[in-house]
C-alpha cells in the first residue's frame, strides 16, 4: 500500500475517534491557503500538521539528548575539579 494511503486511513480513523471539530479547527488555522474544504484538502492539511508535529518532536528529542550529554560532561568536569582540589 502507498504510505499516503495508509496515513490517510490512520488519520481518518483517528479523526473519527477524537474530537474532529478540535482537530479541524487547528488544521484550518494552520492551513490558510485552502479555500474549499473537502476531504482531500483537509487530509493534505492534516498530513502537513502531523509532519510539523513530528519535526518538532524530533528537534525536542535532539535537544534533550544534547542536554543530557552536556550534563554528563559538566558532572565529569566537576569530579575532576573536586579530585584535583
Distance CA 41, CA 27 (A): 10
Per-residue pLDDT of the chain (85 residues; tens, 9 = 90+): 566 666 666 666 665 555 445 555 565 665 665 566 778 887 888 888 889 889 999 999 999 999 999 999 999 999 999 988 7
C-alpha cell at 69: 550529554
Global pTM value: 0.54
Separation between Cα atoms, residue 55 and residue 79, nearest integer Å: 36
Amino acid at each position: 500500500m502507498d504510505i499516503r494511503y495508509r496515513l490517510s486511513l490512520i488519520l481518518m480513523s483517528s479523526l473519527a475517534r477524537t474530537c474532529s471539530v478540535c482537530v479541524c479547527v487547528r488544521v484550518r488555522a494552520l492551513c490558510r491557503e485552502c479555500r474549499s474544504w473537502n476531504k482531500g484538502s483537509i487530509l493534505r492539511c492534516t498530513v502537513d500538521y502531523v509532519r510539523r508535529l513530528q519535526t518538532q518532536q524530533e528537534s525536542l528529542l535532539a535537544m534533550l539528548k544534547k542536554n543530557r550529554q552536556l550534563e554528563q560532561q559538566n558532572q565529569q568536569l566537576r569530579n575532576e575539579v573536586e579530585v584535583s582540589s
